[in-house]
Amino acid sequence: MANSVNKVILVGRLGKDPETKFTQGGTQVTRFSLATDEQWTDKSGEKQRRTEWHNIVAWSKLADICQRYLVKGKLVYIEGRLQTQSWDDQEGKKHTRTEIRADSMVMLSPAAPGAGAEAAAGAPPAREPETSPEPAPEIGDDDVPF
C-alpha cells in the first residue's frame, strides 16, 4: 500500500527562457524558473501580493518540448514532484537545491512566434508525458489507499 505522495501542481509564468543541456549519455535536460503569485487583502484593507519562484527541470522528450515552445512570460501548467539534490562544492561547502521535476506540461499561452517548424505547422501537443531515465514503479490494487 502506498504510504506517501509527492505531487506538485503549478500554474505560473516563466521567469526566463528555458536553458537546455545534455548529460554525458546524451539525455536532454531543460531547466526554467516559474513564478506563482498569491494575492490577499490585509487587515487594513491593503491589497498584498507575494511571488514564489520555483525551479523546474524537465528530461528527455518533455525537455525538448519545453525548450522549443516555452519563452519568458508564458503561462504554463506543470505537474511533477519535488526532488532535492545535495552536493559539495570545490571548497567542501555543502549545497542543496529543491526542484520540481516535471512529469507533464500544458501551455496555457500561445506558442512563441518562430518557435520552430512545428509552430508554423500547427499547435504542439498540449500535454506530453516525460520519459524518465529511471522506470516508474508499478502500482497495483494493493497500493491504492481506498
Quick: pLDDT tens for 85-134. 898 889 999 999 999 999 999 999 876 565 544 443 334 444 444 444 44
Could you give the number of structural domains in the chain? 1
Angle 76-82-86 (CA atoms, 0-180°, nearest 5)? 125
- Structural domain boundaries, residue 24: 8-38+49-130
**Confidence (pTM):** 0.70
Looking up residue 87, the CATH number of its domain turns out to be: 2.40.50.140
**d(Cα 84, Cα 7) in Å, to the nearest integer?**
14
Residue 2 domain-assigned?
no
Q: Which residues contact 96 (CB under 8 A, 6 or more apart)?
A: 84, 85, 86
Confirm whether 145 is domain-assigned. Answer: no
pLDDT tens for 51-78 read 999 999 999 999 999 999 999 999 999 9
Residue 143 within a domain: no
- 26 domain residue, yes or no: yes
